[in-house]
Structure 1
Amino acid sequence: MLLESNVQRTLTARQMAMYRFSRNPAALVGAVIVFSVFIAAIFAPLLAPHPDSAGSFVDFRNRHMAPSWDHFMGTDNVGRDVLSRVLYGYRVSLGLVIGVLGVAVPFGVVLGLMAGYFGGWVETIIMRFTDIMLALPPLAMALAITAVLSPNLVNAMIAITLLWWTWHTRLIYRIVKAQMNEDYVEAAKIAGASHFHILFRELLPNCISAIAVKISLDAGFVILFGASLSFLGLGIQPPTPDLGTMVATGAEYMPEMWWQAVMPGFAILYAILGFNLLGDGLRDMLDVEL
């Protein structure tokens, strides 16, 4: 305790945050897992032992093979290497995360800033519409959207994005409402700062840490949500390697050919666990209350 107290007095706030993160074993494990998932997705063509399995390749002579040295996760119902498809599946899952959060986060953050700052009828319209969207069952809404549209990666992104911005709007709204009576906001108003300046130069920087934590936690949920759509046949369609589709196809051959469903399912669990541990670590590091 004495050593930690001395460290706190000599380090800056940013260095202290990194120090707290480095002292959190779960956060470090999460960071390693997330890093490995990104490496697997980026370098899938180099890491995959059988890259042809990522496409419409078939090899009926080697179908339903159990895990072995040549196929570490076995083969599927048409002879494709499961490990290779999992690596390429991570590429699809991370693409979904980037596409969804890349649109939902900015949109939700801007609406939350406006609702919390302007108040009045602006707050009423934005937050009541947000409440309506939050009241809708997310999976049922996404299923309805993807059922109307043709199931593919782009439409899966659209379906999830139409629901995901609401959480960021609600989060930022609460933070801004709590910050509106702070001295720095009042000082900016007295100095004649524009609404744009106060929103994006004063209030937004105080929301960055909460946004970073929320994005990390959301990434795992988006992967699970996308996999759920694919499992139900309304997400990414074969032969594109998608983890949810692989689990759905492999479940037809349970329990004898267990690896066809268990291995992709474990890959989903691995990625979600990594993002959740990283998000918890960032929350502790930044001392943010969600």
Structure 2
Amino acid sequence: MSAPEMIDAKAQRSLTSRQMAMYRFTRNPAALIGALIVVSVVIAAIFAPWLAPSPESAGSFVDFRNRHMAPSWDNVMGTDNVGRDIFSRVLFGYRVSLGLVVGVLGVAVPLGVVLGLVAGYFGGWTETIVMRFTDIMLALPPLAMALAITAVLSPNLVNAMIAITLLWWTWHTRLIYRIVKAQMNEDYVEAAKLAGASHFHIMFRELLPNCISAIAVKISLDAGFVILFGASLSFLGLGIQPPTPDLGTMVATGAEYMPEMWWQAVMPGLAILYAILGFNLLGDGLRDMLDVEL
């Protein structure tokens, strides 16, 4: 073992479990990069009206004299087919994408967690009904199901949230169900039952805390997938509608002018890639940080 590795080993032995987790996270370059990317995306979304060089480009603003302008110092990502600044629209597009993430996961995660807890804890017919329905929903092609829902409803941000939420809770139900089933025979659960604790107490005060780390990792990874899923719906014309700046819609519109005016599709596409990469790296870092086996 080299000298730096010996120092790291001694440092780790002197840390508490929480400090150890933070130590592992800060020693993971990919996790730190992911965290910085996510923070930058969040800042861009929150402060878009002040960071955007052309805030009016987020609306129905047109400037035909400057349409199809290539990337330059004045327009770092160029302009689109009606002269709007693409960089400004990307910043506002992050606001829409993160709003979609918060709306979808804010409903899907609690719903999936509660159903997983109930199915794993009670078992029997409750488990059979909940998990078989979950399996049916998991068997449906996600994108096809979302397309069908948004085709029936009018395409907008709220309906896109509904379409994705109706599919996303299943993954959290399956995850929590497996964790709860593995924990049901642990001593702390048996002790709580012998002490006369209520079902609610055992599920939400004993079992749920042991699921938090897995939920945190899943949320971080899901955020990137929700952004991609929402962009896919918008690319197909069934998500957020113009003139609202949405990354998927911007890619679809810019694709009409490929390859001569490549920046109109490539720049929003890179913005999607940037956000997804950040959430995936952060999720991997959280998984390593919260892995008790490490």
Q: TM-score normalised to the size of structure 1?
A: 0.99
Show the counterpart of 2:139: 135
Whole-Å separation in 2 of the counterparts to 1:42 and 1:29? 20
Whole-Å separation in 1 of the counterparts to 2:283 and 2:149? 29
Q: Point out where structure 1 has 5 or more consecutive residues left out of the alignment.
A: none
Tell me if 1:14 matches 2:18.
yes
1:1-290 correspondence to structure 2 within 5 Å: 1-287=5-291
AA paired with 2:77? M
> What is the root-mean-square deviation of aligned Cα atoms in Å?
0.8
AA paired with 1:109? V
Whole-Å separation in 1 of the counterparts to 2:231 and 2:153? 17
SS in structure 1 of the partner of residue 283 of structure 2: helix
Q: CA deviation at 1:207?
A: 0.2
Whole-Å separation in 1 of the counterparts to 2:112 and 2:292? 19
Whole-Å separation in 1 of the counterparts to 2:276 and 2:121? 34
SS in structure 2 of the partner of residue 235 of structure 1: coil
Whole-Å separation in 2 of the counterparts to 1:123 and 1:136? 20
Q: CA deviation at 1:210?
A: 0.2
Give the percent of matched residue pairs that are identical in Structure 1 and Structure 2: 90
SS in structure 1 of the partner of residue 70 of structure 2: coil
Q: Deviations over 1:104-125 (max 9, x none)?
A: 0000000000000000000000
Whole-Å separation in 2 of the counterparts to 1:207 and 1:7? 28
Whole-Å separation in 1 of the counterparts to 2:283 and 2:13? 26
Q: CA deviation at 1:288?
A: 6.6
Q: Deviations over 1:10-60 (max 9, x none)?
A: 110000000000000000000000000000000000000000000000011
Would you say the 8 A contact 1:210–1:288 is kept in 2? no
Whole-Å separation in 2 of the counterparts to 1:65 and 1:45? 22
Whole-Å separation in 1 of the counterparts to 2:205 and 2:234? 40
Q: Point out where structure 2 has 5 or more consecutive residues left out of the alignment.
A: none
Would you say the 8 A contact 1:209–1:288 is kept in 2? no
